């Protein structure tokens, strides 16, 4: 056996061990994050706060999708209960530039009876992370600190971390009712997707 082979094999074993360690660390991080996502998604924290923030979902030609409507209706109920005096709706435009998720959400809640003065629309965010940044700017500009975040069950963990990162707090969560996927496979997929998105954000890749 040549000297090169003697040196090459230990190096290869070291690289394999390093790769294995990386995979184990990744799996552990995703697993622990998944547990936290599920735990956070089971909470209802309708504490008194400065604002209720409704994270966007699809809208269709100026009308909220069923998912967005359910989030907005939940936020409306929280507002009616006096949880916060202001509701912030989020989300930019998608395929149709005439409408934004935040604007559609604001109009829907105004139509339901929340006064225009108590509604703020964030209409520039193209995803959750960007909406969180924009919401933080809006809240600071209006002297708002604490909030109750409304979205789907497995979405609120990442939202809370994003808002806290932007200096908002305390951040409470209140997922819309019955927002967990019903099948085991759908739940596993949703949790893994959220855990992966959180990891990419932590790595500065999203």
* pLDDT over 70 percentage in the chain: 93
65 inside domain: yes
Q: First-to-last CA distance in the chain? A: 48
Quick one: average pLDDT of 5-9? 55
1 inside domain: no
174 inside domain: yes
Quick one: average pLDDT of 64-69? 97
Name the domain count of the chain.
1
Return the CATH number at 112.
3.40.50.620
Scan for tokens 């994003």, then name that residue.
Answer: 162
pLDDT of 196 strictly over 60: yes
pLDDT tens column, 84-110? 999 999 999 987 788 999 999 999 999
User: Tokens representing 94?
Assistant: 């998608």
Comparing 9 with 189, the larger pLDDT belongs to: 189
3 inside domain: no
Residue range(s) defining the domain that contains residue 118? 41-202
Contact 110, 116 (CB under 8 A): yes
User: Tokens representing 35?
Assistant: 């547990």
pTM of the model as a whole: 0.87
Q: How far apart are CA 160 and CA 165, in angstroms?
A: 9
36 inside domain: no
Q: What local confidence, expressed as pLDDT, does residue 6 receive?
A: 47
35 inside domain: no
Comparing 95 with 39, the larger pLDDT belongs to: 39
Scan for tokens 């507002």, then name that residue.
Answer: 79
Comparing 118 with 12, the larger pLDDT belongs to: 118
24 inside domain: no
pLDDT of 34 strictly over 70: yes
158 inside domain: yes
């Amino acid at each position: 056996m040549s000297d090169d082979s003697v040196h090459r094999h230990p190096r290869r074993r070291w690289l394999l061990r390093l790769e294995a360690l990386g995979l184990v660390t990744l799996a552990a991080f995703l697993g622990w994050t998944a547990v936290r996502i599920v735990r956070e998604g089971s909470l209802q924290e309708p504490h008194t706060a400065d604002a209720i923030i409704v994270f966007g979902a699809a809208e269709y030609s100026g009308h909220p999708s069923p998912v967005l409507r359910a989030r907005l209706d939940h936020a409306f109920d929280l507002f009616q209960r006096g949880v916060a005096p202001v509701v912030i709706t989020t989300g930019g435009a998608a395929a149709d530039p005439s409408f934004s998720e935040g604007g559609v959400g604001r109009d829907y809640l105004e139509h339901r009876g929340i006064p225009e003065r108590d509604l703020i629309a964030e209409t520039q965010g193209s995803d959750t992370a960007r909406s969180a940044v924009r919401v933080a700017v809006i809240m600071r500009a209006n002297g708002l600190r604490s909030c109750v975040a409304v979205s789907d069950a497995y979405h609120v963990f990442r939202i809370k971390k994003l808002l806290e990162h932007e200096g908002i707090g305390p951040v409470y969560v209140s997922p819309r009712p019955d927002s967990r996927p019903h099948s085991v496979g759908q739940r596993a997929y949703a949790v893994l997707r959220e855990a992966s998105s959180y990891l990419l954000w932590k790595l500065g890749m999203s």
